A and B are shown apart, each in its own frame.
Chain A
Amino acid sequence: MRTKKFHFGFNTQGSDIIKAHEHSARQETHEKDIWNDFKHGSDSALSYIYRNYVNQLFNYGCQIVDDDEFIKDCVQDLFMDLIRSRKNLGNVNSIKHYLYVSLRRRIFRKLKKEKSYMKDEIRGRPEVQFEIISSPETKMIEEHLTVKKRELIEMACKKLTAKQREAILLYFYEGFTYKQVAEIMGMGKVKSARVMIYRAIDALQSSLINARDLLFFMLLCIGYLFL
């Protein structure tokens, strides 16, 4: 799902640490062209957008409302509305960001319409929204994160609110900027998104540091035993 990804090892010293896998600057102009083509009614641009983003959108939607059919409808309507109003669409820098903003808005609009259904139900169970797992990269050359640390990250995430978890996933996993996160989550100020993410990071950070201190303390104890 996270398509633009790279990894690098630290076994070799020097300049080849950071290897080029993709050029996202080019990607960005490419996306602008695609969006433009789409506005002019191109079928291949539509198919590009669908292929690249439909599953990401579906996943994101399901994190908000755990109902496949409901989210499928939202995503399909989103695409159809885009096609219907394509001539009036503005320019975008990131197609993905535009789609996320629109989808989230659409989901909440639709939820409001179908009041009897949901709303309370999802409000009542925020613990299942945007659940986070901490799992290692497959091709990691050097493993710094031990299983213990990953557990700690997950524990810390569980203590976050659903909104904080959403913000963290949008920021860490989807790679959106603070400004984009604020826009997607409908927060008026970028600062709100920043504060929310800072708090979440602090929680992660302190749990990791605590773990290190604990380990150090245990080593000390063992040392004393031998004295």
Chain B
Amino acid sequence: MRDLLRDEFFIKLICNPDEDTRHYWQRWLERHPERREEFELARQTVQSVKYKTDRKLSEDDYDRMFMRIRAFKQELDERATSGRFPEQRDKRPVFLRAAAAILFLLTLAVGATYMISRDASENVALNDVEWVETVVPAGAKKTVRLGDGTIIRLNAGSSIAFPERFGADTRPVTLKGEAFFDVAKDENRPFIIKTGDITTKVLGTSFNIRHHEEEEHIEIALVSGKVRVNDALGNEMLLQPAEMLVYSKSTQTHRKSGFDEKLITAWQDNILVFEKASMRQIKDKLERWYGVEITLALSRPVAGHYSGEYHNEPLEVVLQGIGYASGIHYSVDHNKVIIKN
């Protein structure tokens, strides 16, 4: 048994087996039938050894740390793209800086008085809070940061509406299109997202919602935390991490499925993914992604579906790729595309 326990390759069979390892040990057992029991004892010895106290982060800690890490990355990314260097030394004369400081303090004081007076009237005028809408045109993407710390990544051709300030009870927003949410934790104020007939309620978590007018399904894919989803008929569904809810608009029915996180969140990394897409779906997706107008001038229907992945490629490259696979031709004129076969 000692030989087996000392053999890295034997440990590999138990901890990270692959085809080769399995094959090797299978042959080994056939050649040494008399060592079968010893083999089995060694295997169980290895498998029985465990950490006495196996520690795990609590769900809260798990979510919180992830949000902090993501926010950190987001900030870094945004700073990199905007090219600002906050460390740069201030070269303005002292009196100017002093004046700026005084001005700043003054603004702060005025702002605070204003806020306080506004707070006092808040109870009366709660319903009058103005809603703000952020619209992302086709061909672009945008990150929105809300007052409560929630971060929303909006995909092309999407929009989000939210109150200027959240009230004391809830944090409501309305989404059209597709977005990835990193909702800041606030146990006392649920974050509520309305998408068509569907309402998604969360306390603090990260997930992807996709709902385009022209599409039949609304998809909610949960990465971490917990969310509660309600439909127009009053049904309530609870989603666990790695679960996706698919709601059919025409039949008002829903089902749960798993999802490939890479596929669902790829758009955030500028990866354009087609998964068994029809010509119609390709058209809609490309129009949103590149902000172009596509006309399908097909003399006969295109057979089959198209799957493919493009990392930050220009439109022409994507069209070429689809063309090879599906036997279509295209012509591009400014932002108008015609697809023929």
Question: What residue of chain B has the Cβ atom nearest to residue A62's Cβ?
Answer: B55
Q: Return the contact of B73 from the options A46, A54, A145 (Cβ within 8 A).
A: A46
- Which one of B44-52, B299-307, B326-334 contacts A? B44-52
CB-CB under 8 A for A44 and B57, given A4-B15, A18-B22, A83-B73: no
* Contact across chains for A201 and B48 when beta carbons are under 8 A apart: no
Q: Chain B interface: which size bin? A: 35 or more
Interface positions of B from 7 to 45, Cβ below 8 Å from A: 8, 11-20, 22-23, 25-26, 29, 36-37, 40-41, 44-45
- Which one of A19-27, A105-113, A114-122, A218-226 contacts B? A19-27
A2, A20, A72 — which one has the most chain B CB atoms within 10 A of its CB?
A2
> Is B76 in contact with chain A by the CB < 8 A criterion?
yes
B333, chain A: closest CB distance, angstroms: 33
Complex Cα spacing A153 to B49, Å? 8
* Contact across chains for A137 and B17 when beta carbons are under 8 A apart: no
Complex Cα spacing A159 to B57, Å? 30
* Contact across chains for B51 and A144 when beta carbons are under 8 A apart: no
Q: Return the contact of A201 from the options B2, B41, B47 (Cβ within 8 A).
A: B2
* Contact across chains for B268 and A145 when beta carbons are under 8 A apart: no
> Is B56 in contact with chain A by the CB < 8 A criterion?
yes
Interface size on A, residues (CB 8 A): 74
Q: At the interface, is chain B mostly helix, strand, loop or mixed?
A: helix
A199, chain B: closest CB distance, angstroms: 11
* Contact across chains for A175 and B41 when beta carbons are under 8 A apart: no
* Contact across chains for B51 and A169 when beta carbons are under 8 A apart: yes
Q: Return the contact of B49 from the options A1, A55, A132, A144 (Cβ within 8 A).
A: A132
Interface positions of B from 305 to 340, Cβ below 8 Å from A: none
Q: Return the contact of A72 from the options B29, B37, B41, B57 (Cβ within 8 A).
A: B57
* Contact across chains for B48 and A43 when beta carbons are under 8 A apart: no
Which residues does chain A contribute within 8 Å of B49, judged by CB atoms? 132, 134, 153, 157, 168-169, 172-173
Complex Cα spacing A72 to B49, Å? 25
B174, chain A: closest CB distance, angstroms: 24
* Contact across chains for A132 and B76 when beta carbons are under 8 A apart: no
> Is B87 in contact with chain A by the CB < 8 A criterion?
no
> Is A161 in contact with chain B by the CB < 8 A criterion?
no
Complex Cα spacing A75 to B68, Å? 12
> Is A32 in contact with chain B by the CB < 8 A criterion?
no
Complex Cα spacing A15 to B23, Å? 10
A102, chain B: closest CB distance, angstroms: 15
Which residues does chain A contribute within 8 Å of B36, judged by CB atoms? 10
* Contact across chains for B41 and A144 when beta carbons are under 8 A apart: yes
* Contact across chains for A47 and B223 when beta carbons are under 8 A apart: yes
A222, chain B: closest CB distance, angstroms: 24
* Contact across chains for B262 and A44 when beta carbons are under 8 A apart: yes
Contact with A along B42-79 (1 / 0, CB 8 A): 00111111111111110001100110111011001100
Question: What residue of chain B has the Cβ atom nearest to residue A87's Cβ?
Answer: B80
CB-CB under 8 A for A140 and B11, given A25-B19, A132-B51: no
* Contact across chains for A43 and B269 when beta carbons are under 8 A apart: yes
CB-CB under 8 A for A171 and B11, given A18-B26, A44-B261: yes
CB-CB under 8 A for A6 and B73, given A63-B51, A144-B44, A201-B5: no
A182, chain B: closest CB distance, angstroms: 12
* Contact across chains for A145 and B45 when beta carbons are under 8 A apart: yes
Which residues does chain A contribute within 8 Å of B18, judged by CB atoms? 23-27
Interface positions of A from 140 to 175, Cβ below 8 Å from B: 140, 142, 144-145, 150, 153, 157, 168-169, 171-175
Which residues does chain B contribute within 8 Å of A50, judged by CB atoms? 66, 69
Question: What residue of chain A has the Cβ atom nearest to residue B33's Cβ?
Answer: A13
Contact with A along B279-316 (1 / 0, CB 8 A): 00000000000000000000000000000000000000
Which residues does chain B contribute within 8 Å of A10, judged by CB atoms? 36, 40
* Contact across chains for A6 and B17 when beta carbons are under 8 A apart: yes
> Is A135 in contact with chain B by the CB < 8 A criterion?
yes
* Contact across chains for A23 and B48 when beta carbons are under 8 A apart: no
Complex Cα spacing A50 to B70, Å? 10
> Is A130 in contact with chain B by the CB < 8 A criterion?
yes
Question: What residue of chain A has the Cβ atom nearest to residue B53's Cβ?
Answer: A131
Question: What residue of chain B has the Cβ atom nearest to residue A83's Cβ?
Answer: B73
CB-CB under 8 A for A58 and B55, given A4-B15, A72-B61, A144-B40: yes
Contact with A along B219-249 (1 / 0, CB 8 A): 0000110000000000000000000000000
Complex Cα spacing A63 to B53, Å? 8
Interface positions of A from 49 to 92, Cβ below 8 Å from B: 50-51, 54-55, 58-59, 62-63, 68, 72, 75-76, 79-80, 83-84
**What 7 pairs across the A-B complex have the smallest Cβ distances?**
A175-B15, A131-B52, A133-B52, A24-B18, A25-B18, A18-B22, A62-B55
Q: Can you name 14 A-B pairs with beta carbons within 8 Å?
A: A4-B17, A26-B18, A43-B265, A54-B62, A55-B56, A63-B51, A83-B73, A131-B52, A145-B41, A173-B51, A178-B8, A201-B5, A201-B6, A205-B1
Q: List 14 additional A-B contacts (Cβ < 8 Å) besides A1-B56, A51-B224, A58-B57.
A: A47-B66, A48-B261, A59-B51, A63-B55, A72-B57, A83-B73, A130-B51, A131-B51, A134-B48, A153-B48, A169-B49, A172-B46, A173-B49, A201-B2
